[in-house]
Amino acid sequence: GAYRIHGSNHSVFAEKLAERARWRVEHDFRRLEALSDRAAEIGLTVPADAGLHDPVHLEERLASLCVDEPQHPVETDSRLGLARAGATASLEMNASWRRRATLAAWFLSIGILPRRMGNAVLAWKLVASSRPAFLARLSKTIRRVTN
């Protein structure tokens, strides 16, 4: 079942979130490397920055960086740089305009807001139990009205 994240279990939660994000980021890098190797065998190339066009990959990189920066696997990453790449990748997705705009705004808010606020916005998307009640109600209302 669901449970609330509070002071006594937040550090364990953050550690697990960062661990999961790092694993996914590193897995994506291995996957892209294998894809590049296979593409080269048939005379094609995969752009070196392919991961920077994948909103899911960028979401995990942002989570890793924000939650546990010292352990983050990409030394050159910054919140603003990943937010910019995430917003751009979101707008390029094959999804409704509303979905693309919402995701782009989410990425930008994490990059632009002060760290603590940006981390809260990050958590709201990744962990339902971290969302304030008003946000959960607003989200349900928006879904009901737009469907």
Q: What is the pLDDT of residues 45-83, one digit of tens each?
A: 999 999 999 999 999 999 999 999 999 999 999 999 999
In this prediction, residue 8 has a pLDDT band, given cuts at 50, 70 and 90, of: very low
- pLDDT, position 2: 45
CA distance 27 to 87: 22
Total domains in the chain come to 1
Instruction: Residue 106: give the domain boundaries.
Output: 7-146
In a domain, 81, yes or no: yes
pLDDT tens-digit series, residues 103-143: 999 999 999 999 999 988 898 888 777 777 887 787 788 77
What pLDDT does residue 104 have?
Answer: 97
Give domain status of residue 118, yes or no: yes
Rounded to two decimals, what is the model's pTM? 0.81
Cβ atoms within 10 Å, residue 31:
13
In a domain, 56, yes or no: yes
Instruction: Say whether 94 sits in a helix, a strand or coil.
Output: coil
